[in-house]
Amino acid sequence: MRGIAFGFLMTLLLLFVASSAWSQRIPFYAEPALSVGKQLKGRFSVNAKFVFRQQFASINEQQLDWFSQSDVVEVQLFLNYKILGSKRLTFGYLYGLDDPFLTDPAWEHRLMQQFTFQSGNRFKWVNRLRLEQRFSANQFRNRIRYRFTFDSPLSGSKLDPKEWYFVAGDEWLYNFTGKPGEDHLENRIQAGLGYLFDNGHKVQFEIQYRWLRMLSSREASAWHLLLTYNLNL
């Protein structure tokens, strides 16, 4: 019961902060995604993730403009190698399009290398360290990011089918290009609820607050509503 109360309180708190932010005219995005995993032979597994981001509002001369516009479409492919003790090495590739339905969308190819390890029993802490090399039409960027996430079932000490769980996390991202003035720091904090189905699939809803270009004069923030469906073949 305490778990349920905690989970709902945290989510409600974030919703409250989000609504406050709305009145302060912070851009708002919805980000549905589908994640498909498949265990291969031995220690290897693969995962494909399809992300679609829709922008619903932005600030224009201190006014909140309400509109709906496709922002990003991404396809991500990952190859995982499982190490004993809940550790994983992952290599990934991403192909993304900004403003995908315009006549000349901006493309990006991204290579990713990540190491994840998990600890905890009831509260599972997952630490993820990821390196990214981002190639686009007019520039090359590096990014290093560290994320810790935890989830906890809202009933019992382990997650069983047909049960809800609480999930929360924080991520730090540092973008660097080697060019002065272009490096920047970003933080993403998120919380939400998930549900495990009988068939092992999960659906997860999270609210994410992004603090962009921290410590810079171009500092900004955004709200993202994430809805992810995870299935394993």
Partner 1 sequence: MRIVLSLILMFSSFFVFGQSGIKYEKEESVCREAFPDEALLQLQPLLDQSKRIRFYKETDQDGINYEVKLKFEGNFYSIEYDSSNNLKDIERLMSWKKYNMPAKLVMQQFMDSLFIKYKVKRFQIQDVPNSALESIHYLPLEKDFLIGRNYELELDAILKGQHKPLSFELLFDNSGVLLQRRIISSDLQDNLIY
Interacting residues toward partner 1 by CB under 8 A: 1, 3, 35, 37, 41-43, 47, 49, 76, 78, 80, 82, 84-86, 88, 90, 116, 118, 121, 124, 126, 128, 149, 151, 155-161, 163, 167, 169, 194, 200, 202, 204, 228, 230, 232
What is the closest distance, in whole angstroms, from the C-beta atom of residue 60 to partner 1 in the complex?
Answer: 33
Question: Residue 69 in contact with residue 49, Cβ under 8 Å?
Answer: no
What is the closest distance, in whole angstroms, from the C-beta atom of residue 148 to partner 1 in the complex?
Answer: 10
Dist. CA 5–CA 52, nearest whole Å: 32
Q: Between residues 167 and 173, which has the closer beta carbon with respect to partner 1?
A: 167
What is the closest distance, in whole angstroms, from the C-beta atom of residue 40 to partner 1 in the complex?
Answer: 9
Q: Between residues 42 and 181, which has the closer beta carbon with respect to partner 1?
A: 42
Of the candidates 172, 155, 165, the residue with the CA atom closest to the CA atom of residue 230:
165
What is the closest distance, in whole angstroms, from the C-beta atom of residue 51 to partner 1 in the complex?
Answer: 10
Q: Between residues 11 and 149, which has the closer beta carbon with respect to partner 1?
A: 149
Phi and psi at 200, nearest 5°, equal 90, -5
Dist. CA 79–CA 208, nearest whole Å: 26
Q: Between residues 56 and 172, which has the closer beta carbon with respect to partner 1?
A: 172
